[in-house]
Structure 1
């Protein structure tokens, strides 16, 4: 049978290539065309011909250009896209792409290389694919008609801002149409949406991202678009008057890495960081800041070069050394990287051996990493502390390049910005609030039950945003079993409520299993599956439920793992896995849990460790699933106790703010233990001990300084089965952190709200230290700053000193919605910085490079001494202010 399939594929591909040769091809480079055809052949052989619908293409009379474009897409798209979407979907996208190229004035200006890699591809991030290209093309083609490419890019961004604004959320990227429905998106969703809109009208566009900032704890994504021979950048859904201007000009100049994933095998002018079977990752750091190259040599304990070592380049961020680039060495043990002129940790591993070293870009020319550590073999004797050292981490300096914008152009853009806000707010007004949600429940006979159930339904309707009709209809459909319906909705994430489809909800509700949750992690959920697996495994259900290990064995026997381990791991649907019998390690986890739950077996991917587990039917014990072993069992565990002594600035360190723990994997690489972001502290979680799997770990801790630098420390330790491991955590501090950095006149005047009186800072603050914040309403850096301050509101209220928040002007003050920032300290004084006088004085006295960059936060006293300054984008601002306050 296998021989027949291979022969069929060879015959099929030969006839395909003959047909294309006779009719032409949208790839004019013969050598590249041959490379694509080879990759296409390999993909068909890997996945199976049933996922490429040749009959449909014949019926739809696909042209040679369309077939060539499809061949290119299928050659490089991830397995999930091949198995989870029909060929007709991609044909429709290809046809719309060609239609845009023909109809838009710039269509013939776009080079083939850029059209192929930055217009034609459908996937941008890890989003569900949808019909946005077709919808957006129809919506935008007339709106940009007659505009230049640059003006069209600006206009598309204004359109995006009419529909979507920023709101943080989980790491799953919603599809562009879902983002519109909810009217909100984090930066990854805003940029995915904007790239999709630009590509829909034939403008090359790509999502650019810094995987982690070096100077503050966060990441960011934005858009680059090509016009008339040049790539320009823009903040997605944040329109400015000109291109190459955004709130992140300054932080981008301090970044260490900027990436984009070019679809397919891309050969452009940029530095290639990683080339895979799906994408080419390219380095764009030189578009934003100054970079330097370091050559790395990876050697073993004896000093010999290591071939095939995995080299993880790590930036300190969120209290971890986070991998932002992975490379592999050649036979000479060498690799290289160009990055911003700051510090990284380099971690090399292979076959259980590993080593690490700090690298300073701009200073070091060559760094040797010696793999002289060995992962402890389970059961072997090992000392508790394997390594301990401190590292001073320095981010790149700021060298922002800010384009000039006339006052007239800026005012016109702000006027449009406000109008676009009004359009979006009118749509937001159609969403439920608590009162209208309760009324909808009453109108539909859903509020007659318990008060607890009613409040839960109100919460779900309010949280569902533009998806409220789905959630309300689902509840109405199941009045007779409302408890089960509410329980199912209770398993959904906030984002799920905003974009979950009715067929998914109905499938889970009507399944026999009481394991209601449709979600395992942040995977795509686009196809119902529970009732499908009920039927497919009807004969084995009882046996599998009594002994879930039999399901593990079925998966091991029937589901192949993609041999290309570097392939893009977009989560495949469980139906796609089942039909193709091919997947990757991540999607196999999701598949196992989904099938298990469909059969009534309690299963999960553990949130902290990411281990696949099922619950033992007899003892109720969580059993770890290891697809490489014959026996499934609970892990050998030991207790880990962390000791900490108050350093005078932080009394109860927080996970992701002050420390993190990483498992050192059997191959020597590292994996973060992903404890909950909210509420995980030293005293609440680690002071009295937690159970950890036996093995080696890394404890990373650090103190972020106001200048963006970090005083970091790393300890490697071993947890032994049945034993208690105690580790002392140290948060380093700086003796020079609290110094006078400049001056700011406490007699400066502002307009006090709500009285509209002109007053001085001193008259409102009294003698002593106080905080001043000059904010840009609606700007992402300001939103982050205010939310960070709200997180430590009790600290400010206990301190008792005033916080003066100044708006840019009266219009900004009216636009500000305090309800969007619940929990702000009660000791805030709001005012207007009349004519920008306070900001002007701060900029001049503190010698700030950029007068327009907001927010600006200071701690100063009424003797005019500034002891803390933060300008622009800073995550963890509240904790930085807290640290300084405790030292005053």
Structure 2
């Protein structure tokens, strides 16, 4: 008995000692670093003194919890402090600590790695949620007995059970919203995977190439740490081994890959910039051959200029997009390590600017003179050359590949079983038709909303039912039609109710888009209308309604602007801005629009220029839609409409292009104080014909037009010009698309007698036919698809965009699946608008292998593969893997034949 009591006492004392030890353990053992964090935290408290935002620190916390929270609060963006409670952040600190204690690799992860790559909840610009706690419970039993590297692979398999790739808008869904939707774009998938890895204590970070150098678009993936080394993997795209993904080859042509590390990070990687929220590091050396170059910025007299902004820009989507920003040092210099290709270096200071092409690997030094200023006209041509491909793929055995394929098929089944619980068009229409109070057109719209809402359909149904009870079914349909497609998938019921019940009914064309609509920009939706109607008294509200300038004045006088503490421009909620009386510029603009809409003033942020706009209806009742004003928060007088002029451009159709597309062939950027800002016209329909064939009205100012012709090699023939648009005047210019005389050439051979097994009406035929038989004499396209893979999805969507042109060409396009099993996973409804000239089939006789061998392609397993060839066995175009704008490249080649 005494022995039992002794043992119990020993255990109790051990637990008590461990508890006390844990209670008094430091989160940051390095006293110097800890002191710096404390200093940054205290400065944050002083700056954000309103709103009782640090109340969590007045509660009973262990030393570990207090220091961990101080670290998080010291470097959080503004929104994470104003919009999430201290209890939420404490919950995540405790969950991260639990994972480090319970997972077998917890002791292997250094304090620095844990601090920067495990503890932080935020990955990118997503809304924060309780994913860490939810994911841990599901993942722990799956990974706790694995090695660290195998655990990373296993977590990615789990993610593939939950979500696959699907493009969407720029707003990033939270990890739990991605699970509920069952798909996401690459930025959402990688955010999801990082959150999942961190939930089980594995250091992880999201890696971005801001833009590819050899093709349009960008990409995001994940790096995870195991056993002393960082590895990369494609999120929700499990492979048998690490350091393998469909993007190995494109990444080897990349010029910059970066990641934003939470807080002050002192790791071994090249630091690109340090902000109050994060340290941006360059990880391009993990993927491609690199070179360093030093830029010296001088004034017109040749003297070094310190403190100049140096922007390193890649040609992508027909603009020179900034992928890195540096400030020159006392000697006027700034350096960058990048892949061995061409960038444009744009330097500016105090309204003066200059630019030069920089070829990394060929030039280790470049001088840029600030010899231009806003308003200086110019015109020049640039030839841009991207890096060459140099990918090295890790070895994968046939057994590993077969097992990975088996697992992915099983995971597809698990995910598809969940997707099957979502609303089908038939079920959605049946439900909508049963709702009394909706007319036929409204029923169809509701059915469409239910299908589009994916895993959020219960919320949409509840909202429509509630609105019908209130006698506002039609208005609810208008509201759902105003929000984004992604909002349908993750909006919450109380928010939708708030905007339905607390929006004024105003007779104005913009009453739905600029008043009823909860969505303003890329912020997380909140119930802000009832909030502001409660906190702003009736007299003040009426005063603002009849004198909107007073609301502008209130914002200017009462909201402290602090862009430095919100480096990622993560939008604060309007309520958070009100409580903190602080915001970054972007959040201040959203706040103004939210308050205006809450008080019955139609307001919005212009998608092209970024200007804050409102309609004054109260003082202009005789105008159908009131009077439009552009807000200038720096003005004390009545707002005015910005002066505007017009721009028109002549274009001479080329052999390849008859209507250049915005973002594909040309863009316009406004230059203010030597810095470029892209004008964001509608990407779905903007072209020379719709924008510049007739005079385009635009704010007066100085603009830079960029146009480019992408070559099959990935290079670009660029034309740039500087234009002055003066008030009340029309500027005439030319849209120049440079051409290459030798762009199209015979580059290989393909046997047109090659066989495949055709598919007709969804049935695989018994006997094969030749490509020649299927297509007849002349040119044709053959493509071999990687079903469900992001590069193939991109390719098919790009082809669908140009279906009319491809059908007008009239030649056949043979699209092959590697086998019947892969064909079974193909969902043609995911790619509406594919040309009617397509012939589907199974690659039963090795066409993919033939193309890869004959064209000397480097990667035998990388799909999709496309060729344009003719029945004389001549190949004039080939593409393998990830290629943005494939349809356009095909048509460009076709028009050149």
TM-score between the two structures when normalised by the length of structure 2? 0.94
DSSP-derived class of the 2:539 partner: coil
2:510 is aligned with 1:510:
no
Partner of 2:662: 655
Mapping 1:319-330, distance limit 5 Å: 319-330=318-329
Counterpart in 1 of 2:840? 830
Per-residue deviation at 1:752? 1.7
- Counterpart of 1:9? none
Q: Provide the rounded CA distance (Å) in 1 between the counterparts of 2:203 and 2:479.
A: 42
- Mapped pair 1:725 → 2:714: no
Deviation at 1:80, TM superposition (A): 1.1
Bigger shift: 305-314 or 731-740? 305-314
User: Is the alpha carbon distance of 1:51 and 1:190 closer, same or farther for their aligned partners in structure 2, counting shifts above 3 Å?
Assistant: farther
**2:744 maps to 1:738:** yes
Aligned equivalents of 1:752, 1:732: Cα separation in 2 = 41
Residues 371-418 of structure 1: per-residue CA shift (max 9 Å, x gap): 111114xxxxx8xxx111111111110011111111111011111101
Secondary structure of the equivalent of 2:567?
coil
* Equivalent-residue separation in structure 2 for 1:456 and 1:765 (angstroms): 41
Q: Which runs of 4+ in 1 moved over 6 A?
A: 19-22
Whether 1:679 and 2:688 are equivalent positions in the alignment is no
Distance 2:334 2:316 in 1: 24
Query: Paired residue for 2:896?
Result: 887
1:543-692 → structure 2 map (5 Å cutoff): 543-562=543-562, 564=564, 567-617=567-617, 618=620, 620-631=626-637, 632-665=639-672, 667-692=673-698
Distance between the aligned counterparts of 1:660 and 1:366, measured in 2? Answer: 29
Confirm or deny: 8 A CA contact 1:51 1:87 kept in the other structure.
no
Task: Report how far residue 622 of structure 1 moved.
Answer: 2.2
Counterpart CA distance in 2 for 1:596 and 1:49 is 23
For residues 775-823 of structure 1, the C-alpha deviation after alignment (integer angstroms, 9 at most, x for no partner) is: 1111100010011011111111111111111111121111111111111
**Match of residue 814 from structure 1:** 824
Moved more, 448-457 or 871-880: 448-457
What corresponds to 2:11 in structure 1? none
Are 2:768 and 1:768 aligned? no
Q: Does 1:852 align with 2:861?
A: yes
User: Residue in 1 aligned with 2:4?
Assistant: none
Output aligned runs, 1:382-393, within 5 Å: 386-393=377-384
Please name the residue that 1:877 is paired with: 886
Q: Which residue matches 1:498?
A: 489
Aligned to 1:337, the other structure's residue is in SS state strand
Q: 1:621: Cα distance to partner?
A: 3.1
**SS state of the match for residue 91, structure 2?**
helix
Distance in 1 of aligned mates of 2:366 and 2:57: 54
Contact 2:45 2:54 in 1 (8 A): no
Which residue, 418, 433, 440 being the options, matches 2:409? 418
Aligned to 1:39: 40
2:207 equivalent in structure 1: 208
User: In the aligned structure 1, how far is the partner of 2:758 from the partner of 2:567?
Assistant: 58
CA 1:740–1:286: 2 relative to 1, 3 Å? same
Q: For residue 30 of structure 1, what is the aligned residue in structure 2?
A: 31
Q: Take 2:565 and 2:206, find their aligned partners in 1: how far apart are those partners?
A: 24
Does the alignment pair 1:473 with 2:462? yes
| Structure 1: distance between partners of 2:271 and 2:22 | 31
SS in 1 for 2:406: helix
- Conserved 8 A contact 2:290-2:340: yes
Partner residue, 1:866: 875
What is the CA RMSD across the aligned residues, in angstroms?
A: 1.6
The 3-state SS of whatever aligns with 2:348 is strand
Whether the 8 Å CA contact 2:299–2:305 is kept in 1: the answer is yes
Which residue is equivalent to 1:100?
A: 99
CA contact (8 A) 2:78 2:565 kept: no
How far off its partner does 1:872 sit? 0.8
Q: Return 694-703 or 301-310, whichever deviates more.
A: 301-310
Deviations for 1:96-155, whole angstroms, at most 9, x for unmatched residues? 000000000000000111000000001001100000001011111111121000111111
Q: Distance in 1 between matches of 2:93 and 2:299?
A: 49
Query: Per-residue deviation at 1:685?
Result: 2.1
Contact 2:292 2:335 in 1 (8 A): yes
CA contact (8 A) 1:621 1:634 kept: no
Instruction: Using the TM superposition, give the Cα deviation of residue 536 of structure 1 relative to its aligned residue in structure 2, in angstroms.
Output: 2.1
Asked whether 1:714 is paired with 2:698, we answer no
What is the distance in 2 between the residues matched to 1:208 and 1:365? Answer: 26
3-state DSSP class of the match of 2:347? strand
Cα deviation, residue 62, structure 1: 2.2
Q: Would the alpha carbon gap of residues 26 and 565 (structure 1) be closer, same or farther in structure 2, given more than 3 Å must change?
A: closer
SS in 1 for 2:202: coil
2:12 is matched with none
TM-score relative to the length of structure 1:
0.95
Q: CA deviation at 1:846?
A: 1.1
Change in Cα spacing, 1:193 to 1:392, as seen in structure 2 (3 Å) is same
* Structure 1 CA distance for aligned equivalents of residues 547 and 74 of structure 2: 40
SS at match of 1:834: coil
**Which sits farther off after the overlay, 803-812 or 223-232?**
803-812
Q: Which moved more, 1:350-359 or 1:127-136?
A: 350-359
Structure 1, unaligned stretches of length 5 or more? 1-18, 377-381
Moved more, 301-310 or 176-185: 301-310
1:407 is aligned, of 383, 398, 402, to 398
Inter-CA distance 681–756: structure 2 relative to 1 (3 Å threshold)? farther
